[in-house]
A and B are shown apart, each in its own frame.
Chain A
Amino acid sequence: MEKVNVGKRILSANEQFAQQNSQLLAQRRQLCLNMISSPGSGKTTLLVRTISDLKDELRMGVIEGDLRTDIDAQRVRATQAPAIQIETQGACHLSAKQVNDALEQLPLDALDVIFIENVGNLVCPSAFELGENGKVVVLSVAEGDDKPAKYPAIFAKSKVMLINKIDLLSGGLVEFDIERVTTDARRLNKSIEIFPVSARTGAGMPQWYDWLKEQVRQTRR
């Protein structure tokens, strides 16, 4: 028997595509955000509202990732924004190669912001860099306030946490301790920005929009 030291990074093929994407976006000074959450947290509703509310200020496009169907891309296109649907055929995350292909299909010259709506999954997508400028984790209050403690990776790596569906908190429909989530997330990630929002009613959305517009300004510099 003979042992051979290898010391080689795994998933380096993904990292190479991620780097290509990142370089392309940096050259074009475009902001690209990777949206990650459990299924049903309201990512698409959030994006559709963001695109509609900011349509006079920012030009946005979306890369949609789902196991099957182009339902989400159709919802985005209804706002007149361009959307490319990636059907992963069962894979639990988007890869940088898939995003690379999708970026070629988007009308990049006509966009300020590219959102990647990852496959609904709080675990796997956090392990695959796509070349984005930042990750945004969306957590809806119905999922419970223990998620940063249970799924630390995505909260440690995200620039922003959007706590969605806060309209469900009124009337005690759902028990959710925003303070606990904030403490747990900041323990992992001191600089994470936290915005409690309701994509349905629009509550809290202006703070998210301000952050988004500031990021676009910084990316253009």
Chain B
Amino acid sequence: MDHIQSLEAYSIFILREAKSRLGRLGLLWSIGKDSTVLLWLAKKAFFGHCPFPFIHVDTGYKIPEMISYRDKVVKELGLELIVHQNKEALADGMGPDKGRLVCCQALKTGALNDMTRTYGFDGLIVGVRRDEEGSRSKERVFSERNQSDEWDYTNQPPELWGQFKTDFPKGHHIRVHPLLQWNEIDIWRYIEAENIPVIDLYFTKNGRRFRSLGCAPCTGRIKSEASNVSEIIEELKNTNTGERDGRAQDQADPYAMQKLRKDGYM
């Protein structure tokens, strides 16, 4: 096995553990490359079936192409999709002009936490990776959130030998992270090897492309000539900028992600 095959095998193991050990499960699908790989891995883990719904936390500010692509894929694959929004905050005019972290807190964290409670999820499968940023690098594969969706990052449980956190009080839930071990280039190599369709926002248009997808006002495009997956891989081999450098919320505070994620942000 090469390391991409090892990553695939371990992710499938994690998905099957989640299915077996957690009650009500959902998969957070952000339309981006990582959660699209997650969708593919779920198909592999469950032999073409998908025994849980997909969830899209829609801030209302997403890049419009993401929404049309989402609806197309859902139709093609016959996925069960839950779309959730913090309608109240949107009605009150919430947006990045109120402060980027405040906005993320309301439209992403708030909507996500509200959705978790509404549907009574015991487990949410999320495509975060250790190499994205510092607080994610410290994550566990099965990461507990308490009844207020908070992450007690200073007291994480031991996680060893593939024995994950499957015992927790009622009302808590587990964030399952099957892609924690992957890095950005692994994702693209896997997309290439498996020929997985991805949204074309990742490919260059007028000399720029998105490296990470998010909300339109807070996500910038990078200079790039990469027009297909293998060109993206070549580009990543030679870059030393961060994947999330184009994500404005990360730059708002040195510990922005730690602070957001403590309260339940993905």
Q: Do A and B come from one complex?
A: no
Residues of A within 8 A of B (CB): none
